[in-house]
Amino acid sequence: MTCEKFRNLISLYLDHLLAEDEVEAFEKHLEECEDCKTYFDEINYANELFGSMMDEEVPEKLVERIKKTIRSL
């Protein structure tokens, strides 16, 4: 697997949308390529960080302020 193909498949891998043979090739490349391992670790960290933010509830006052600002534009 090339580094370019690996990078194009990261999102699908993280979302568990790759076929079994693609997962094997992806994980093999991940073990063998230090640059892609570093890149994957950064993407995975950001994915986990932003994913955890989605669990936060937005305060109603903030929602109302945003709506008011949008209406005034």
Residue 38: predicted pLDDT = 96
Q: Which residue has the higher pLDDT, 19 or 73?
A: 19
* Domain assignments of the chain as residue spans, ordered by start: 3-72
Instruction: Render the burial of 31-67: b for 16+ CB within 10 Å, e for the rest.
Output: eebeebeebbeeeeeeeeeeeeeeeeeeeeeeeeeee
pTM above threshold 0.85: no
pLDDT digits (tens, 9 = 90+) for 27-69: 999 999 999 999 999 999 988 887 656 556 778 898 888 888 8
